[in-house]
Structure 1
Amino acid sequence: MTAVFVHLSDIHFGQEKVVGQRVVNEDARKQLIEDAATVVFGLPNRRVAGIIVTGDIAFAGKRYEYEAAGKWLDELALRVGCGAADIQMVPGNHDIDRDRIKGLTAMMLDGIYEQGEARLDSFLEEETARDVLYLRFAEYRRFADAYQCPLDCAGQSSAERRVELAEGRAIRFVRLNSALICTQGRDEYGKLLLGARQRVMTAADGEELVVLAHHPLNWYADSADATRFLRGRARVFISGHEHRAAVDVQKVEGGCDLMMLAAGATTPDKIDGAYTYAYNVIEFDWDEAEDALAVTLHPRAWNDEMKRFEADDLRLNGRDRRTVLGAPYFRKGSKPPKPEVTGGLAGIEPAHVEIILPQEQDVTVNGQADETEYQNLYLRFFRDLAEGDRLRILVELDAVPGEIAGGFNHETEGRLFRNVVRGNRFNALREKIETALARREQQSRDQ
C-alpha cells in the first residue's frame, strides 16, 4: 500500500505585507494547488494520504495569518483528495508571536541561551514556567490543535500518527518543536535546542520513523546527540527553514539508511538564482524484495521564466526518484504475507493515516467509531469559531459545569467537546457549529 503526501514548508502567510509580494505570492500559491492536483492525479493512487507542513505557516504568529493559511490549506486538501484533518504540522521560528516575548518570557529564554539544556529542563518541570514559555506559541497552538497536532507543552515529541504500508509494516511520524527556544534576535545557527525530551525517540518492531522538524540538524546545540538518535532510530528526517531544497541518503551501517530531506520554501522572501517557490510530493511504500522502506520523491520548483511549477530534476542530482532505504525495524517485525494481486489498481489503494489519541480522548459518533467525521467537526469548531462562539455552543448544549465557566482554556474546551460527542449529541453539536459559521460568514459579507 502506497502512502502519498504533499510536503510544504515555509509558507509564510503574512509575509507579503512586509516584502510587498501579495499578488505574486497569491498567484504562486494558486499555481501550486493546480500543480499538486495534476501531479497527484498522475500517480496510481490519484489522491494523497495527507499534507505535511514543516513549519513557518505564518510570518509573525498572528491569528489573521493562520486564518488565511487555513483557507488555502483547505483548498489544497480538497484538490489533492484528502480531508483538512489529514494535515499535520510542526512549528517554525515564524510561528512565534514575538510581541509576546517580554518580561518573564524574555528572562526565561535568555536564561536557557546562557545556561543551556539544564535550564530548559528546570523550566519544563514546572507547570507555571511551561505556561509562560509557550505563551509565544498561542496562535500556532490554537491552529495546530484544531488539526490534532498539539504542541507537547512538556517539551516532548509527538508521535501519534501512523500509516500502515503492509501488514506488519508501517511508518510513524514524529513531530519535533525545533523552535522551542527561539526568541527575539537570538535564533542563532548552532544555538537552538531540542532538549532530551524530544531527542529520545522510541522505535518499535515493524515501524520506521519519519521525523518532522523545521530546522535542519546543524541549527541545534544538541545536534550531535540528536543525530545519533536519528541514525539509530529513524529512517527519514524532513526539515525546512533554509529555503534550499536538497536530499541526501546516509549509509548508517549495513541494512540501515537515513534519508535527509530539506524542503525549499513554499513562499520564499525572494526569488532569484538560489531561491524559488518549491514543494514536494512524497510516496512511501514497502519494498517487498528488500523488506525495506521505499521513498519516491517528486520535487517541484517554480520556473520563473514560464511562471509555473515543474519537476525539479536538478535537486535529485542524477539520483533515481525512488530510493530503497535499509529498514532494520521492519526486519525486526514479523514477516508480512505477500499482497494479493487481482488486477487493476489492487495493492495501491490510498493509505490511511491513523491518529492514535490518548485513551481519554477516544470518542464514538452516534455509538459508532467515525474518525473522519469527528476530526472534521473538531477542526471547524476550534479553528474556525471564535472563543465566544465556542463557549456559547457548549453552554447551549448544557456541557459547561458552573464551577469551570470562568476558567476556560483549550484543554477544558476539548474535554467538554468530547463529552458532548460521547453523550450522543454529535448531530446537535454539528448543527450549532454550522449555524455559528453561517452567521459569521454573513457578518463578514455585511461588513
Structure 2
Amino acid sequence: MPVAFLHLSDIHFGQEKGGLVFTHDDVRERLIDDVTRLVQELPNGKIDGIIVSGDVAYAGFKVQYTTAGEWLDRLACVAGCQITDIQVVPGNHDINRDGICRSSEMMLADITQNGELRLDYFLELEKDREVFYGRFEDYRDFAEAYDCPLDREGGTAGERTVELAPGRTLRFIGLNSALCCGKKDEKGKLLLGARQRVLPRRVGEELVVICHHPLPWLRDSEEARQYVRSRARVFISGHEHTPQVTVDPVQSGCDLLMIAAGATVPPLENDEFTFTYNLLQFDWDQIANALVVTIHPRVWSQAKTAFEPNIKTFGAEKIAHSLGCPNFQDKVLSREMASISSQDTSAAEDVHNDTVNSGMIDAGSQEERSAMEDKFPFLLLRFFRDLTATQRLTILIEMGALPKNWNGALTHPLERRALDSLRSSGKLEALETEIQKFLGGSADGEKNS
C-alpha cells in the first residue's frame, strides 16, 4: 500500500530576530495551512509520518526544541499522523557551539588531522563518548523523544520501517553527518565513520537514507557513496538549502534517487533561497517490479504569501520516478519468503503447543500489556521532550530504576537504559502515572495532540 511523508529540512527554530520573528512564524503557519489542503487530496486522506533532515534548531538550545516540538505536534495533527510519527536526524545547527568544551575541541581537532582511526579511538570508552557527544546535549533529549537516538558508539541515528507490500519493506535509516561538526565546518572535512556508512542489506528490504549533509561534505564520501549507491534506493539530504532531485542509474535494475531538500526556513529569503518543503509518496509498482517515488515539491510564493507547487524549479506540480530495486526482485523474494514462512510456521506451532500445555494463556493481561506497549512511544516523547532533567531523575528514583541515594552523574545512555528497564519489567502504567503528575492530563498525547 502507498505511504506518504512530509519532508522538512533546515527549519532553524530560534534564528529569528526583530521582524523576522513575525515573518518566519507566518511561514510556518502557512505551511500548516498548505499541508491541511494537500492531505485532503491524498488517497488515504492522511500522512504516514514526518521526516526532518537536520537543523531543527538554529543553535541547539533547549528552548528552540521546545518551540519546535509544539509546532511539530500541530503539524502532525493536521497531517493525520501521530505526534510520535516523526523521524529526525541532526544537522550542524543542532549543535550547541557555545557549549563545546576544550576536551571536545581537542578531540575534533585530532580527528580532523588524523582521520577515522582517531574517531574510533574516542568512541571506545563511554566516558570519552559522553564528552564527545556533549555538543548535542539538548538535541539528544529531543531526538530520543522521537526514538531517533544518537548511537552512543558512533552508529546510525535512528530508523523506522514500513511495509509497502507483502515481503517488501522500506527501512528509513538516519545518519549523523554532524558527528564531527565543530565550531567551524569545512566541506569535505566531516566524517561519518564505518559504523554509519556500512549500510545493511536484507532481502525484501530497500533503504531510504536520511542525512543532513550531502555526500561531498564528507571526508569519507567515496566510501559512503559506494554503500549508498549499492544498498540504498533513496538518499535524502539538506544543508545546502537548494532543492534538487536526480536519479543515479547504478546498474541495470538498480537506481538511486537523490533528493536534496531546500530549507523549510532559511535564515533569510532572497533570490537564491526561499521557503520550501516536500511531500513524498512511496508505492510499489507490481507490474514494473519497481519502487515509485512521487515528489510534490512546495515553494513559497512571494506574490501570494503562501505555498504553491514548485513548478519553476521542477517544471511540474509533481514528479514521479520508478526505481529498480534489486532487493525486491520476485525470484529472490519467493525463495527467501518460502524459507522464512516454513520456519515461522514451525516455530509458531511450538510456541502455541507449549503455551496451551502449560496453561499460561491470559488474554486479559496480554491485552493490557499490548495496550501499554502501544503507549510507549507517547511515554518516550513526554519523558525526554516535555520533562526537565530534574523531573526525569525524580521519576527514575521514585520508580526504583535508580537507587534512592543516587548522587552520580546521570548520563544520557544511563537514563535511557533506566527507562528501558522500566519497560521490560512491565512498569509502563506506573510510568504513565508519574509523568502525569508533572504534565497533567494524559501522557499518551490527548492533551497536546
TM-score of the pair, normalised by structure 1: 0.87
TM-fit CA distance, 1:151: 0.4
Unaligned runs of 5+ in 2: 338-365, 442-449
What residue in structure 1 maps to residue 168 of structure 2? 169
What residue in structure 1 maps to residue 140 of structure 2? 141
Distance 1:366 1:424 in 2: 10
Listed one character per residue, the Cα deviations across residues 73-126 of structure 1 (whole Å, up to 9, x for unaligned) are: 111011101112110110000000111223111111111111122222222223
Letter in 2 for 1:10: D
Q: 1:415 to 1:66 in 2, by over 3 A?
A: same
TM-fit CA distance, 1:146: 0.9
Distance 1:409 1:399 in 2: 14
| 1:225-244 equivalence runs, <5 A | 225-244=223-242
Distance 1:336 1:318 in 2: 40
Letter in 2 for 1:417: L
Q: Is the 8 A contact 1:48 1:80 kept in 2?
A: yes
| 1:38-187 equivalence runs, <5 A | 38-158=37-157, 160-185=159-184, 187=185
Distance 1:319 1:122 in 2: 49
Counterpart pick for 1:366 among 360, 365, 368: 368
Distance 2:405 2:120 in 1: 33
Counterpart pick for 1:316 among 314, 317, 326: 314
Distance 2:374 2:52 in 1: 20
Letter in 1 for 2:7: H
TM-fit CA distance, 1:400: 3.1
Distance 1:69 1:22 in 2: 14
Q: Is the 8 A contact 1:247 1:315 kept in 2?
A: no
Percent identity (aligned): 49
Listed one character per residue, the Cα deviations across residues 199-241 of structure 1 (whole Å, up to 9, x for unaligned) are: 1111111111000000011111211121111111110000000
Q: Is the 8 A contact 1:56 1:94 kept in 2?
A: yes
Distance 1:268 1:160 in 2: 26
Distance 1:382 1:131 in 2: 18
Q: 1:398 to 1:189 in 2, by over 3 A?
A: closer
Distance 1:29 1:372 in 2: 30
Q: Is the 8 A contact 2:290 2:323 kept in 1?
A: yes
Please give the secondary structure, in 1, of the residue aligned with 2:10. Answer: coil
Distance 1:253 1:320 in 2: 26
Q: 1:365 to 1:152 in 2, by over 3 A?
A: farther
Letter in 2 for 1:96: I
Q: Is the 8 A contact 2:297 2:317 kept in 1?
A: no
Distance 2:402 2:104 in 1: 32
Unaligned runs of 5+ in 1: 338-363, 440-447
Listed one character per residue, the Cα deviations across residues 110-152 of structure 1 (whole Å, up to 9, x for unaligned) are: 1111112222222222333222111101111111011100001
Please give the secondary structure, in 1, of the residue aligned with 2:52. Answer: strand
Stretch moving more, 159-168 or 278-287: 159-168
What residue in structure 1 maps to residue 6 of structure 2? 6
Listed one character per residue, the Cα deviations across residues 378-407 of structure 1 (whole Å, up to 9, x for unaligned) are: 111111011222222333334433465534
| 1:20-31 equivalence runs, <5 A | 20-31=19-30
Please give the secondary structure, in 2, of the residue aligned with 1:16. Answer: coil
Listed one character per residue, the Cα deviations across residues 239-294 of structure 1 (whole Å, up to 9, x for unaligned) are: 00001011001111111110000011111011122211110110111110122111
Please give the secondary structure, in 2, of the residue aligned with 1:84. Answer: coil
| 1:235-274 equivalence runs, <5 A | 235-274=233-272
Count, aligned residues: 411
Please give the secondary structure, in 1, of the residue aligned with 2:440. Answer: helix
TM-fit CA distance, 1:178: 0.6
Q: Is the 8 A contact 2:282 2:292 kept in 1?
A: yes
Q: 1:155 to 1:365 in 2, by over 3 A?
A: farther
Distance 2:389 2:367 in 1: 24
What residue in structure 1 maps to residue 274 of structure 2? 276
Distance 2:245 2:67 in 1: 30
TM-score of the pair, normalised by structure 2: 0.87
Structure 1 runs (4+) greater than 6 angstroms displaced: none
What residue in structure 2 maps to residue 212 of structure 1? 210
Q: 1:244 to 1:257 in 2, by over 3 A?
A: same
Q: Is the 8 A contact 2:159 2:174 kept in 1?
A: no
Q: 1:405 to 1:47 in 2, by over 3 A?
A: farther
Distance 2:277 2:433 in 1: 37
Letter in 2 for 1:333: L
Q: Is the 8 A contact 2:150 2:158 kept in 1?
A: no
What residue in structure 2 maps to residue 389 of structure 1? 391
Distance 1:311 1:320 in 2: 8
